[in-house]
Structures are given as structure tokens and as C-alpha cells.
Amino acid sequence: MEHSSKSPGQMGYLRILNGAALPFPVHISLDHRPFAAGVRPFTATGYDCGDPGKRNLRILDGSDPSVLVLEEQVEIPQGGFATVVLADSSRSGIRLFSLADLDCRLMAGVQSCIRAFNGAMEGEALSLAQWNGRILWQQVPFGGASSYCSIPPGPHSFYALSDSSRSPLSSLSLNLQPGYAYTLYLAGNTWTAGGLRILPAIDGR
């Protein structure tokens, strides 16, 4: 992101997850400095470090960089990790949400940590369950994140569902590693070709 004289503990770490079903990739800049180029829908950048504080984030159309898609302020946390999520919005086309990310190594034990974020289907809460029928989180609102919970490491299968349809909207199989934190991002929707997806990301690394 940039060179700084601060120590690593004084810096912050930021990544961008493009969870919007846009028909083009996006270019991203912070304070008019390039951050990431050609970020395709349903993909994420890696973390990059920078001075903590509020920054001006610009989203440009990757197929025509003269087109400004969105411009907002985001905050880089001091000594922490954050993810900015691009999500579809029926009102404004695209919205940004910021999440503070946990490093699971800060938690005791050899469990994995996991949470869910609903960036799909604006106006409808979604739930996340395991294939054994266990509901992990119920009615996570649009733009909301669940709390982290511990879960045994190893292979797991998850599915998303809504109150209006108890049939799975999307599913994901994932092998969780001990001592790692994960966010399962619900992105997209049920009425476009890409559908609703569950996008896994490792947090704080």
C-alpha cells in the first residue's frame, strides 16, 4: 500500500472483498494511490498494510477507469485487520461494509473460529447451517456479521437458507485448519446467473 516509518504493531491491515455481481472487474485506490487492479466479482485481495485512520476509497470500473463506481471513507484499524466488502444494493447499485477481522491465534486452544457475513439479498436475513442440520446462525441481517464461534477443525459442509425458502440457497465444503479464523461471506443473489454464493476467507493472516 505505502511505505511508513511506523512499526508493524502501529500499522493496520486492510483487504477488499468484491461480493457484488458486477459485470466488470474493479480498480481500487486509497487516497488516490492504487490499492488493487482488476478485482473480479466474488474474489478478494490480500491484506495490505498502511497507516491507521480514515482513508478515501475509490472504486473504478475496470473496463473503463474513467467511470467512478463509488467513493467512500473507510478506516484502517491500528494494529488490527479489516475487510471492506462490496455488496449489491437495489437502492444505490453497490454498498460498502467494513468488518473487523479476528486472528484466531489470539484465542486459546486448537479449535478453528468461524463467522458469517450477509452481503446478499438486500432486505432479507439469511441463516447458515451445517449439513448435519445444526443451525450456526439464524437471521443474519443484510450488512450484518455474526459473532465468531469455535468449531472443530477438519472438513465441514455449510449451506445458506432464508426464512422464505427452507431449501438451501447455496452450499460450501471447507476443510478448516486449527488455529485459523474464517469468515463465510454470503454474496450475490438468487436471480442472476452467478447465483448466491458462500465465499470463504481466512481472517487475520
Sequence-separated (6 or more) residues with CB below 8 Å from residue 156 = 130, 173, 174, 175, 176
For residue 82, the one-letter residue type is A
pLDDT, one tens digit per residue, over 27-46 is: 999 999 999 999 999 999 99
- Dmax of the chain from CA atoms? 53
- Asked whether the beta carbons of 161 and 138 are under 8 A apart, the reply is no
For the chain, the distance separating the N- and C-terminal CA atoms, rounded to the nearest angstrom, is 16
**Residue among 132, 118, 125, 137 at smallest CA distance from 164:** 125
Residue 5 predicted with pLDDT over 70: no
Percent of the chain past pLDDT 90, that is, above it, reads 71
In this structure, the number of other CB atoms found within 10 A of the CB of residue 37 comes to: 14
Interatomic CA distance for residues 49 and 2, integer angstroms: 8
pLDDT, one tens digit per residue, over 82-118 is: 999 999 887 778 999 999 998 776 565 688 999 999 9
Sequence-separated (6 or more) residues with CB below 8 Å from residue 55 = 30, 31, 73, 74, 75, 76
Cell of 45: 485481495
pTM above 0.85, yes or no: yes
Q: Which pLDDT score, from 0 to 100, does residue 165 have?
A: 72
Residue 1 predicted with pLDDT over 70: no
